[in-house]
Amino acid sequence: MTKPIEGETSTFERTFTVEDVQQFAELSGDDQPRHTEPDEDGRVMVQGLLTATLPTKLGGDNEVLASTMEFNFHQPVYTGEPITCRSTFDTVVERDDRYEFVSDVVCENTDGETVLTSTTEGIIWKDD
């Protein structure tokens, strides 16, 4: 990983499918009817923690080891709805063997409505 820079932003977009939600329901045990029974438009509500995998994907891209992740869920996400997440490094402190950071994430639907915000604190190890 190259040095993270304060203000640097990464972006990721994903559209969850009914199959994604069903697989997560099986794995997590969160199989409430709202996550398993489609509405009149054939959509189901995406589990909050499945939605929270969007920021973790961005962290994985940056080889982040999170020590704290705080999520705020603003409104439901439904299958078939594209969600775009932006993660921005707010602070970066260089140490001998790592970078310590705080980043903020904002996830929005195609109407520009915020569906999830997150703050992550963690480290990124320096390359050998």
**How much is the CA Rg of the chain, to the nearest whole Å?**
16
Domains of the chain: 9-16+46-125 (3.10.129.10)
Q: What is the pLDDT along the chain (128 residues), one digit of tens a residue?
A: 678 999 999 999 999 999 999 999 999 999 999 999 999 999 999 999 999 999 999 999 989 999 999 999 999 999 999 999 999 999 999 999 999 999 999 999 999 999 999 999 999 999 86
How far is the C-alpha of 62 from the C-alpha of 90, rounded, in Å? 14
Sheet with 82-94, side-by-side order of all strands: 9-15, 82-94, 98-109, 114-125, 65-73
Q: Is the pTM of this model over 0.85?
A: yes
